[in-house]
Structure 1
Amino acid sequence: MSDLLSIGASGLKAYSRAMTTIGDNIANAQTPGYARRRLALSEMASGTESALVGRNVSPGGVVIGGLTRSVDKWLIDDARASSGEAERAMARLSWMTRTEDALSDDSNGISTNLTKLFTTADKLTADPNNRTLRAEFLQTAKDIATGFQGTAKELASMSEGISGEAATAVGEINANLDALERINDGLRKARPGSTNEASLLDERDRLVDQISAQMPVTTSYDAKGAVTVRAASSGDMLVGNATVTHVSVATGADGRLSFTAGGAPLDPGSGNLAGLAQAADHVAGQRSGLDAAAAAFAGQLNAAHQAGTDANGNAGQPLFGGTTAATLTATTLSPDQVAAANTSGTNGNMLSIGGMRGANDPEAAWSGRLAEQAQATASARAQGAAAATRADGAAAARDNVSGVDLDQEAADLLRFQQAYSAAARTIQVARETMQALLSAI
């Protein structure tokens, strides 16, 4: 009779714990990083029988073996790798799009004003003494210089923005590395199979997910589940042996980024840091190219204008000053100082300036720069879409194993409720039988 009571009692305890576990699964179905938990239950051998011989074992109740988490290491690693690549592509695309906007004609009007400058020069060939057209020619040159200045300022601001975002990302990585070491300490003290251990393992995996989204890492685990994290590119240890190595970022004079871990160079091949580094490189290249374009444009127009004579018969003066896009300024001239004439006639120099238009003139060079940027942005957009699709597929595959299926949980809950009722009925039968025996004495 005592065996019947112990069987019922063990069942009540086990199935109550199982329903609690299912309740935790349902409550955390949408919690990021939560892995579905299952309570390991096994049959208890009778205390009066030998468990070494199967046919002599009689049921003795239910044994709780502890919590297990539904995880697949390969799927986890694949999801982290694809997530890091998606983060890299998204970070790069975000700044590539902003760069395209900064260079666009809607933003700076450079393309429109370059066309207008040559169009006005053409008009001056027909009416070289028209002071209105001369003033329009000078104002257009000023608008072009303003456009270069504005674009240079916007690109410089973007470099600062990328640098700030990288500093924030590195700060998040270091905070996660510190938190991961605290989780490792908790896992070394946690009781195997406990709810506390399962929660720590969930948090461990969530932190590693966040770190791997920022930069590629490799992981290894000890018997207690404590993780050792290393930088994938160099193998340098970031977390392990109760120590943490922080990541640092430095910004060069041109806005390019460099990363280190414990003073050693770090090359993030994927993840958000890699995307920011690539974006910084691209913006730095565009800033350099913008300066070169401004210098080339100013040099060509200055040389062309100085080759002519103004309305007073004086030699033409430079139209622009400055050596970079940020310092490019239009020279203050009066309409009479526009050098429309040359030795061939009163409109000869304007004819020469109008004749500059072609494959290598500033207008064509600027259009080519915009086309290159548009192509680069389109390529980044396609790569981003492909990486996002790949990451979504890997995450879905991981969730199929680790995620909570509410339909399955509902079915298991019903099954354990029935088992709980059966265990309670077992105790009731034992109690009624005992009372009947006592009454018969």
Structure 2
Amino acid sequence: MAGSDILGIGTSALLGYQQALQTTSNNISNANTPGYARERVDFATRPGTSTGDYYLGNGVQASGVQRIVSQFVNGQLTNATAANSRYQTYSQYANQVDNLLAKQSAGLQPALQSFYNAVQGVANAPASIPARQELLTQGGDLAGRFNTLYQQFNQIGAQVNARLSSDVNSINSLATQIASLNTQIVAASNNNPTGKPNSLLDQRDAVVNQLAKYVSVNTVSQSDGSINVTIGTGQALVVGSSVTRLGTAAVNGDPSRCLLYTSPSPPDPERYRTPSSACS
């Protein structure tokens, strides 16, 4: 009997560490898999056998497979991803505006300087026909430069609108993926209350990080395994399996400028004008 118990204890150790080796092999296999979180097998003592006055141990068993993740680090990564994307976008469009206005060869400053020089020339010699003609010429050039800048600023505005519409579509798609993963995670957790669907959790964290490339993100974990996602200043985007979709509409008074709104509520007609080809 003792020999059988000893063999059983040894077998429990072999089986437990066989699962640990399988998990280690899985970690190595997924070392370069984007979004994969390293896993670790947790062990627990098997229930003892009562001998009347005391209990004898029966070895070890695997009690679960734990993802090695830090919610704090994940939150910092999400915030850093959002900040990096925000500053890159700001830099991209700020550089375009800076090049239009401050460029020495074709910016606004050379045209203004030439116009002011012509004004000064007329002030110095009011009766000079060439000075007056130069002022008219420089005034026309300055007006043309302003018109050119206006067209170029409109082109940048169109780029921003197109970028906004594209990003809204991406945000809506990612939000739908998060809601779908929430549903799968809740179902898997209900079917196996003691274990966690690690691969689904990895996928959800990866999608949240992708979402942070478009907008600032905050997540709140729920007791059923799902997460609620808010964006911006606290607008709910995903609540469990429900998604609040985003849309774009033109601003009343400036149909060339697009702003965001949340659906299914229609845009406020006092603020937005729909439809608009600029925001399609």
Q: Deviation string for 1:198-220 (max 9, x for gaps)?
A: 01011112222333451444423
Q: 2:14 maps to what in 1?
A: 12
8 A Cα contact 1:231 1:238, kept in partner: no
- How big is the shift at 1:70? 2.2
Cα separation, partners in 2 of 1:232 and 1:127, compared to 1, 3 Å: closer
TM-score, length-normalised on structure 1?
A: 0.50
Name structure 1 gaps, 5 residues minimum.
Answer: 267-441
Contact 2:83-2:216 within 8 A present in 1 as well: no
Question: Is the contact between residue 45 and residue 51 of structure 1 (CA under 8 Å) also seen in structure 2?
Answer: no
What amino acid does structure 2 have at the position aligned with 1:22? T
CA distance in 2, matches of 1:36, 1:141: 68
Structure 1 segment 132-147 matched on structure 2, within 5 A: 136-147=134-145
Residue type at the aligned position of 2:102: S
- Percent of paired sites with the same residue: 25
1:252-310 CA-to-partner distances (Å, cap 9, x unmatched) read 225252332432789xxxxxxxxxxxxxxxxxxxxxxxxxxxxxxxxxxxxxxxxxxxx
Give the CA deviation at 1:96.
2.2
Are 1:246 and 2:245 counterparts?
yes
Q: What is the SS of the residue equivalent to 1:15?
A: helix
Deviation at 1:152, TM superposition (A): 0.9
Aligned length: 258
Question: How do residues 22-61 of structure 1 correspond to structure 2 at under 5 angstroms?
Answer: 22-45=24-47, 49-50=49-50, 56-58=55-57, 60-61=58-59
Q: Alignment partner of 2:44: what SS? A: strand
Give the secondary structure class of the aligned counterpart of 2:209: helix
Opposite residue 210 of structure 2, the aligned amino acid is Q
- 1-structure distance, mates of 2:16, 2:203: 26
1:169 aligns with 2:171: no
Q: Which amino acid in structure 2 is aligned with residue 221 of structure 1?
A: Q
- If each structure's strand is expressed as a fraction of its own residues, which one has the higher value? 2
TM-score normalised by structure 2 residue count:
0.74
Any idea what SS the aligned residue of 1:147 has? Answer: helix
Instruction: Name stretches of at least 5 consecutive residues in structure 2 with no aligned partner.
Output: 269-280
Equivalent runs, 1:103-182 vs 2, <5 Å: 103-106=101-104, 108-123=106-121, 125=124, 136-182=134-180
| RMSD of equivalent CA atoms | 3.4
Q: Tell me the distance in 1 between the aligned counterparts of 2:95 and 2:12.
A: 63
Equivalences for 1:306-345 in 2 at 5 Å?
Answer: none
Question: Where do residues 227-246 of structure 1 align in structure 2 (5 Å cutoff)?
Answer: 227-230=227-230, 233=233, 236=236, 238-240=238-240, 242-246=241-245
Tell whether the 8 Å contact from 2:219 to 2:227 is kept in structure 1 after alignment: no
Q: How far did residue 237 of structure 1 move?
A: 5.8
Q: What is residue 371 of structure 1 aligned with on the other side?
A: none
Aligned partners of 2:38 and 2:67 also within 8 Å: yes
- Once residues 142 and 94 of structure 1 are traced to their aligned partners in structure 2, the CA distance between those partners, rounded to angstroms, is 31
Greater CA radius of gyration, 1 or 2?
1
Question: What residue in structure 2 maps to residue 80 of structure 1?
Answer: 78
* CA displacement at 1:123 relative to structure 2: 4.9
Give how far 1:155 is off. 1.0
1:322 counterpart residue number: none
Is contact 1:108-1:148 (8 Å) kept?
Answer: no
